[in-house]
Amino acid sequence: MTSWLRSSEKTLEAVHLPLGHADYATTYRLQRRLHALRSHGEIVDTVLTVEHNPVFTIGRSGSALNVLAPPEILQQEGILVYEVERGGNITYHGPGQLVIYPIIDLRDQGHDLHRYVRNLEQAVINFLSEVGVRGRRHQGLPGVWVNSYKIASVGVYVKHWVTRHGLALNVAVDKAHFGMINPCGMEFEVVSLNELIEQPLTLEEVATGLITKMEPLFGWRFTRANPHKFWEG
């Protein structure tokens, strides 16, 4: 069931880099550096997992007009705003949200943007299913939903067929922060995984679970890397 979108049966080496808690700007620079290395074939597919301090990021189709809170409130809450090159509109990252940044070569995944986004969503859906939550897609609205509530958002950038940015899964987020934006330029409510299950999960547990679900979908065999060496240089 998990292999239906695979483009080849070949197993690919991949690295999981669990960053723990790291600020947005530093992680962004790391993504760019790894993207350049992956584009030149100097590293294998690498998947970062991270939790950020509160930020709003505005994608290529977005507008600062979708920040609803006045600047003084953002300052009071310590929320920074970044314009980034990923697709989509505005989104929120912050404590209690697992962010996944796959830096991977889509030439090994069938040169297919649609398949890539569907596989990211499928990893979330498969993981949710394992913990007893029914996640699903909404036609024309990338991301993963539980009923009419959004639990995971997607926003990707691809250059030389290598990806950066990725996916954010709400595990235990501060919804007041989401209320300060008009997410994706449309109105819907978000939900966190821990609201839906009896035993709350930590972000680390969710990261491990999700990475495990990504493996068969993308044909990877992960090794886990120590983040410290990646922060250097």
Partner 1 sequence: MSEVRLPNLGEIDEVTVVDWLKKEGETLKTGEDLLEVETEKTTFVIETPQTGQLVRIVKKKGERARLDDLLAEIE
Query: What amino acid positions are annotated as catalytic residues?
Result: 184
How far, CA to CA in Å, does 84 sit from each of 24, 54, 157, 207?
Answer: 11, 15, 9, 24
Q: Per CB under 8 A, which region of 83-91, 144-152, 201-209, 217-225 contacts partner 1?
A: 83-91
Q: Taking CB under 8 A as the rule, does residue 40 contact partner 1?
A: no
Number of residues that bind partner 1 (CB under 8 A): 24
CB-based contacts of 95: which residues, under 8 Å, 6+ apart? Answer: 51, 52, 53, 54, 173, 174
Rounded to 5 degrees, φ, ψ at 193 are -55, -45
Q: Does 157 bind partner 1 (CB under 8 A)?
A: yes
Please, which residue, 117 or 133, has the CB nearer to partner 1?
117
Q: Which two tokens stand for residue 7?
A: 């483009």
CA distance 43 to 49: 17
Name residues contacting partner 1, limited to 88-107 (CB under 8 A).
Answer: 88
Q: Give the helix, strand, coil percentages of the chain, each rounded to 5.
A: 35, 30, 35
For residue 190, state whether it binds partner 1 (rule: CB under 8 A): no
Q: Which residue among 12, 44, 158, 201 contacts partner 1 (CB under 8 A)?
A: 158
Contact with partner 1 (CB under 8 A) among 37, 69, 80, 113:
113
Q: Does 59 bind partner 1 (CB under 8 A)?
A: yes
